[in-house]
Amino acid sequence: MTRLRAVSPAILLAMSVLGQPARTEPYLPHGGSYEITARLELPHLERWAVDKAMIVCLTGSRSGDELPIPVVSANHPFAKCTTANLATDGSKLEYDIVCPGRGAARGHASYVLSPDKFSGRVAMVMGAKNMTMTEVQQARLIGECSPGALGSAAARF
């Protein structure tokens, strides 16, 4: 009986380690072609928000500090920005968007991910103007990326 008591914690520890999936990097959307429907919401102008659909090719992995999921609204200053404080908790992904320069734009992205879709909100502050807005995204995986389409986007309205 004492022998069984000594072995039980070792078995429980082994089962808990084996039960956890080994991930070396945070949970990101699977690579592929996604149709993202985005709406830009401005404070006190919610009923003027218009949905915009676009197809984006995502890699499914992080290369450098680039944004894991891009901001897709028109005329945004986030093309040369990087991520900071990337954190995951189960199917949730959050990160800060940091842009170079004094008084630059910044943001905070928060997503809920699943194997073939994601949804999220990107709260953005447009630099020294202190103008705030939120991009609301809904996306679904529609297939593999076409050759040469990595990082490209095709807009549809």
pLDDT at 26: 54
pLDDT at 4: 47
With a cut of 70, list the residues of the chain below it in pLDDT.
1-27, 46-47, 62-65, 148-157
Strand 153-156 with 132-143, pairing? unpaired
Class of domain 25-156: mainly beta
Strand 92-98 with 82-89, pairing? antiparallel
pLDDT at 153: 52
Stated pTM of the model: 0.73
**Residue 23 burial by Cβ neighbours in a 10 Å radius (0-12, 13-18, 19+):** exposed
pLDDT tens digits along 39-50: 998 887 766 778
Looking at the chain, list the stretches that DSSP marks H as alpha helix, in order from N- to C-terminal side. 2-19
List the chain domain ranges.
Answer: 25-156
The sign of the torsion formed by the CA atoms of 41, 70, 90, 95 equals: negative
